[in-house]
Every structure is written in C-alpha cells, then in structure tokens.
Amino acid sequence: MINLILCGGSGTRLWPLSRRFFPKHFYPLLGEDSLFQLTMQRNAGLTKNRFIIVTNEDQYELALNQSSPKYDTHVILEPVGRNTAPAIALACMGLKPEEVLLISPSDHLIRNTVAYEEAVKLALKYAESDQLVTFGIKPHYPETGYGYIEADGHDVVSFKEKPNLETAEVFLQAGNYYWNSGMFCFKAGVYLEELKVHAPEIYEKARIAFNNATHKVSTHIDLKDMQAIPDLSIDYAVMEHSKRVKVVPADMGWTDLGSFDSLYDELEKDNQGNTINAKLIALNSKNNCIISNGRTVATIGVEDLIVVETHDALLICKRGHSQDVKKVVDKLKITQPYLVEKQQQRFYSWGTELNLWEGHDYRVKEITLRPQSQFLIEDFNGVLNVVKGGVTAHFQNEIQSYSAGQSITVNNRDVELTNSNAVDAVLVVTLFR
C-alpha cells in the first residue's frame, strides 16, 4: 500500500497564518510538526514509508523541506489544480493496477491513531476485494460545514451535500450518517476502471497529460494538458455513481481544522480557557484564542476573542465568526494581494529565508542553510554576514570559506553557498537594489 497525499490549496480561513506560498498544512499549528508532517508520520508504518505527493510548484519546496529523507517519496507537480479526481488519476497511472492507495488530504488532524489504523486495515481488506472505500467520520454534533455519507452498515446509500442546521440535526439523530472525510482506499486499476466508465473525459485527458509529462526526479505535468482536464472531485466523478463503493465508519478524533474556532478546540488551554502561549499576558480574560508569532500580546477584560499576530498582519475577531476570515482574504486579494500570497518566512529544500526589513533601495533577510545543502544567488549585489556556522562561497573562478563573524561583499556576481557542516549555517544578508 502507498499513501497518496493531496497537497494543495491555500487554507484561506486560517489567514494570516496560512498564505498561498505557506498554506496551513505546512504550518506547525499544534506543536513542532505541521499537519503535512503528521500525515506522513501517521501513514509511514502503514505503507512502509512509501508516498506519492500531488502538489503544485508553489508548494514543491515546502513539501521537500518537510518530508523525511527516510521516506520513499515521489512528487507529481500540477501546474494548475483540477480537483481531486484528476489528481488521483495521475497518481494511479504511474502505478501497477494491483497497487493499493491510501488517499489522504495533507491538512487533516487525527487524534486517535489506534482507531485510525484499525479503520485503514478494514479499508485495505475491502480494497483488496476491488472495492472503492471511503472513510466516514462519526459525527458528535450537527456540523453544517461537511458533506455527509448515508450508510447501511458498510454499504453507501447516498452522498449528501453540506446540510443546513435542521437537516444536520436529523442526520445526527438518525445514527447512520457520517461526515465525509475526503479519505479513500482502493486499487489503482479499480479506480481507473471506474473513472473510465463514469467520467471518461477526465480519464482520457488525464491519460494524455500523464503520457506527455516529464518523468524525472518528479513528474511534471504540462500546463495545457492539465488545463484540458475537467475540474471535478472524486465524489462527483466516481464515488456517487459507482456500484463498488464501501464506507468504513470510524471515530478517530478527526478534524480538518478549517477555521480558528476548530483550531481553538484542539489547542491546549489554561484554567481560564485561554490558549497557552508564552507570548500572552492575560488579565481578567477568558476563553480567548491567542496566537503570536513574535510579539507579546496582552489582553485585559476580554473574552471569546480570536487574536492572531504575524510579522505583517494582525487578525482580531469574535469566536464563532472565524468562517468569515475568508471574506477578509477576498478583500485583501484586491487591496493588498501580497498579504494573501507570502509569509515573511519562506521554506525551501535547502533551508529558510526570513525577510527582516525592507527599505527604499535595500532589503535585509536572514538565510538559514541546512547541513549538506547549497543554493545559488544569481547576480547578487550586497553583503553576506555569517552569524552562525560556516559556508563555502563559490564564485566563477574562486572558492572561499567563511565562518561566524565574517562577511562577504559581492558586486553583481553569481555566488553559490554551500554548508558542508553538520549544523545549520545562518547568514544575515543585505541586498542593494
């Protein structure tokens, strides 16, 4: 079995933490590891460290940076997203028909790993019998933000769209309706057979795109080929039409962390209901979700607030209204689009880059170069100050080593920096325009 991780989207409802170039699944929301990393850790034992990641160019470096070198990982790069049915098809086309895939989004949290593993093992049995398996989550309250699966045991009766509150309460009382988790398990060949029957255009266009793709370290899909594939989810394309669908109901502590309200529910809190944060001073305040990336946040006499501080933006809203963060993002796309796209810190396969200050004719950033890594700065004009560790600078006809406390002045030349040490190298870089 191989784990296919669907890794796209920008998580706009968790702005300003989540941005286009640093979406929520790569952000360490609940500790040191991101949701993407937790997904890989959760499935590594089940799949013997075998992964396929479907992502885009914007998130490629992030995925490489956060995946472990001990994993056997192949990346499929989509130039544009065309929803889950094509993404899964492209992955299946590179596998043997009998290969079983466990499909999981990259941004879900699962607390009960024992229940999860039991559900996956049951799903695997159905998948080995040529069934398409979806995972249904036992609801604990009438949620209106998820689709539902109506089940008769392990047989799927129907798929339901996101309901209103009254309908969701009916589903909850009925006892045989489950949240649609967006996780699946089936053989590659079985999925492609059903896709060819129920969504033949997706199958044919995806086949063309896969055959024309560049297959090297990663699989790169051509833009025009990708744009020609219909945009459709696996539920609409296959699952709602196939006669080979099973559901595995589970109560695994699942959430998609789709809002700051749901994130608040998962974060550790003090005895006043405030999220625990070393940067928080809370006086006569209770039931607040406070997230700070750097600055100290002090609250006095407030309750039921969500406060999210980053280097370049501050969000304040009432708990229960965090779904409307997406409306803020829609406005920012028009007025300040850079705030939607980029974090001040960028992650790459070689390390990280943090923007510290920007003036009229200069920019200052901190670069962390991982051990045994290198990167190229083209036509660099500025000063590189080594503040930790050491680097080797490669110019066209020159190689020079530098250690902490030393600086490198470069005038409009290409320079490649290499860290051959066992620890990170940190540089403060000033670039002149």
Question: pLDDT value at position 22?
Answer: 87
Percentage of residues in the chain having pLDDT higher than 70: 100
Question: pLDDT value at position 161?
Answer: 93
325-340 confidence digits (pLDDT tens): 999 999 999 999 989 9
Question: Given a cut of 80, is residue 57 above it in pLDDT?
Answer: yes
Is residue 344 assigned to a domain? Answer: no
**Average pLDDT score over residue span 207-227:** 95
Dihedral sign for Cα atoms in the order 127, 130, 134, 136: negative
DSSP assignment of 191-247: HHHHHHHH-HHHHHHHHHHHHHSEESSSEE--HHHHHTS----HIIIIITT-S-EEE
Is residue 12 assigned to a domain? Answer: yes
Query: Of 200, 225, 255, which residue constitutes the final position of a domain?
Result: 255
Question: Given a cut of 90, is residue 358 above it in pLDDT?
Answer: no
**CATH number of the structural domain spanning residue 23:** 3.90.550.10
The residues that bridge with 347 in the sheet, in sequence order, are 352
Contacts of 422 (CB under 8 A, 6+ apart): 371
Is residue 343 assigned to a domain? Answer: no
Question: Which of residues 88 and 13 earns the better pLDDT score?
Answer: 88
Closest CA to 230 of 201, 195, 197, 198: 201
Residues 237 and 270 in one domain: no
Burial class (CB in 10 A: 0-12, 13-18, 19+), 47: buried
Q: Are 120 and 103 in contact (CB under 8 A)?
A: no
145-164 confidence digits (pLDDT tens): 899 999 999 999 999 999 99
Query: Of 231, 255, 279, which residue constitutes the final position of a domain?
Result: 255
Residues 248 and 265 in one domain: no
Closest CA to 65 of 112, 33, 17: 33
Q: Are 72 and 64 in contact (CB under 8 A)?
A: no
Separation between Cα atoms, residue 58 and residue 194, nearest integer Å:
31
Question: pLDDT value at position 293?
Answer: 79
93-143 confidence digits (pLDDT tens): 999 999 999 999 999 999 999 999 999 999 999 999 999 999 999 999 999
Residues 325 and 391 in one domain: no
Residues 64 and 131 in one domain: yes
**CATH number of the structural domain spanning residue 373:** 2.60.120.10
Residues 428 and 325 in one domain: no
The residues that bridge with 281 in the sheet, in sequence order, are 298
Question: Given a cut of 80, is residue 21 above it in pLDDT?
Answer: yes
Is residue 345 assigned to a domain? Answer: no
**Average pLDDT score over residue span 201-209:** 98
Residues 367 and 267 in one domain: no
Separation between Cα atoms, residue 396 and residue 169, nearest integer Å:
69
Question: pLDDT value at position 138?
Answer: 96
Question: pLDDT value at position 32?
Answer: 84
Question: pLDDT value at position 141?
Answer: 93
Closest CA to 291 of 12, 33, 15: 15
Pairs from 34-39 (Cβ < 8 Å, separation ≥ 24): 34/66, 35/106, 35/107, 35/108, 35/109, 35/257, 36/5, 36/7, 36/62, 36/63, 36/66, 36/106, 36/107, 37/66, 37/67, 38/109, 39/3, 39/5, 39/104, 39/105, 39/106, 39/108
Residues 131 and 236 in one domain: yes
365-376 confidence digits (pLDDT tens): 999 999 999 989
Residues 332 and 358 in one domain: no
Question: pLDDT value at position 201?
Answer: 97
Percentage of residues in the chain having pLDDT higher than 90: 81
Eight-class DSSP state of 276: P
DSSP assignment of 20-62: TTB-GGGS-TTSSS-HHHHHHHHHHHHHTTEEEEEEEHHHHHH
Question: Given a cut of 80, is residue 346 above it in pLDDT?
Answer: no
Question: pLDDT value at position 247?
Answer: 97
| Helices within 73-178 (DSSP H only) | 84-92, 113-128, 165-174
Print the domain residue range for 287.
261-338
Rounded mean pLDDT of the chain? 93
Separation between Cα atoms, residue 244 and residue 237, nearest integer Å:
14
Separation between Cα atoms, residue 230 and residue 205, nearest integer Å:
8
Give me the half-sphere count of Cα atoms (radius 13 Å) on the Cβ side of residue 325: 28
Question: Given a cut of 90, is residue 341 above it in pLDDT?
Answer: no
Separation between Cα atoms, residue 350 and residue 344, nearest integer Å:
17
CA angle 366, 368, 369 (to 5 degrees): 140
Residues 290 and 237 in one domain: no
Number of domains in the chain: 3
22-43 confidence digits (pLDDT tens): 899 998 899 889 999 999 999 9
